[in-house]
Amino acid sequence: MRAWIPLTLIAFVLSVPAVADQITLSNGDRLTGSISKSDGRTLVIKTDYAGEVTVKFDAIQSITSTGDLHVEVGGKTAIGSVSTSGSDVVVATKSAGPIEAPKAAITSLRSPEEQAAHEKELHPGWIQGWNGGVNVGFAVTRGNSQTKNLNIAFTAVRKGFRDKLVFYSNSIYTTNDVSTASPHTTANAIGGGVRYDHDFAPRWFGFVNADFFHDALQSLDLRSILGGGIGWHAIKRETTTLDFLAGINYTHESYSSFTNPQPPNGVVPAVSRNLAGGTLGDEFMHKLGASTVITQTLYFYPDLSDTGEYRGTFNFGTVTKINKWLGWQNSFGDIYVTNPPVGKKKNDLLLSTGLNISFKH
């Protein structure tokens, strides 16, 4: 008789349903499992029989959690088991007792695991949280034409809860290998910089930046731009962002001397100048479906020392993913200067295409 007691006890334990979170939908359907997270628009629950299930938050009639959840309401976070009372959500906190709030006021809801991952994402270490990519394009022609073209671009972005750090660079080098060709090098430009943004309000942010540019064919040894200002998040969604910027900058330009082959012929002396300027611009990003991203930037730099002079840059690019880490990129850039050295053109157009190798750390 005693041998049957443990077996009976085990059978009884197995017959009791496992304790689990539960949500009831407005149509009467019920889902049991482990509540993972919610952003106030949808809720994700992990079930044993269907994996992760995402439901609309406003379609939920009631919520019951067996463990603690992190619930954010009005910028404050309450921790405790969650239940519903009519159209309100009740959080049974251990320190302040039950806290009740309208279900529509919930901005986020996370399990302890999701909360830990969220906090780590908001405050990553300096070697964590980086996303970016490398664009590489190379072309060679032989026969009637003999040319080589290489373009490389690099971008790395690290986003925190209220700030963003960006490093970027791009270069293009093209040669005409025909011995009688003049000039032999038809493009040789490299640029790069760094920018730091910090949100001081939901829609407003401050920024500081440093940009550097070299163009051998324009005899530009180096253009250095140090600046800062404020920006406005006109659109801030996961699929679309649009920022407007305004500020001031200090620019140093140095041009080397060169022989001008066109009238007036002769040696054009080296030029070095410093100027204070304004900064006006916009930055746009839009995701087309799940595979293509469009980016566009436009910057206008009026010379505050000589109001008749200015510089402008325009960039447009697309990246279409082939797989998780490889894509195809196209980019177009235009750099305009109103006062280049004598004999140099005001516009520099850069067009490139090639592979994009993305990374995430």
- pLDDT at position 222 is 94
C-alpha span between 256 and 331 (Å, rounded)? 29
Nearest CA-CA partner of 206 in 247, 241, 236, 156: 247
Strand partners, 133: 155, 358
- pLDDT at position 1 is 45
- pLDDT at position 263 is 64
How would you write the chain as a 3-class SS string? CCCHHHHHHHHHHHHCCCCCEEEEECCCCEEEEEEEEECCCEEEEEECCCEEEEEEHHHEEEEECCCCEEEEECCEEEEEEEEEECCEEEEEECCCEEEEEEHHHEEEEECHHHHHHHHHHHCCCCCCCEEEEEEEEEEEECCCCCEEEEEEEEEEEEECCCEEEEEEEEEEEEEECCCCCCCCEEEEEEEEEEEEEEECCCCEEEEEEEEEEEEHHHCEEEEEEEEEEEEEEEEECCCEEEEEEEEEEEEEEEECCEEECCCCCEEECCEEEEEEEEEEEEEEEEEECCCEEEEEEEEEEEECCCCCCEEEEEEEEEEEECCCCEEEEEEEEEEEECCCCCCCCCEEEEEEEEEEEEEEC
Confidence (pTM): 0.68
- pLDDT at position 218 is 82
Domains annotated on the chain, with CATH? 17-122 (no CATH), 130-360 (2.40.160.40)
Tens of each residue's pLDDT in the chain, 361 residues? 444 445 544 444 444 445 689 999 989 899 999 999 998 889 999 998 888 999 998 899 999 998 899 999 877 889 999 998 888 899 999 888 898 988 888 888 999 999 888 877 776 667 777 889 998 988 887 777 788 888 899 999 988 778 899 999 989 888 888 766 666 787 888 999 999 999 999 899 999 999 999 988 888 899 999 999 999 999 988 899 999 999 999 999 998 987 776 666 677 788 898 989 999 999 999 999 889 999 999 999 999 888 788 989 999 999 999 998 899 999 888 989 888 877 777 888 888 888 999 988 6
C-alpha span between 303 and 337 (Å, rounded)? 11
Please give the structure tokens belonging to residue 28. 């009467």
C-beta separation of 116 from 68 below 8 A: no
Name, in order, each residue with C-beta under 8 angstroms of 13's C-beta and a sequence gap of 6 or more: none
- pLDDT at position 264 is 65
C-alpha span between 351 and 242 (Å, rounded)? 23
Residue 328's Cβ-side half-sphere holds a number of Cα atoms within 13 Å equal to 2
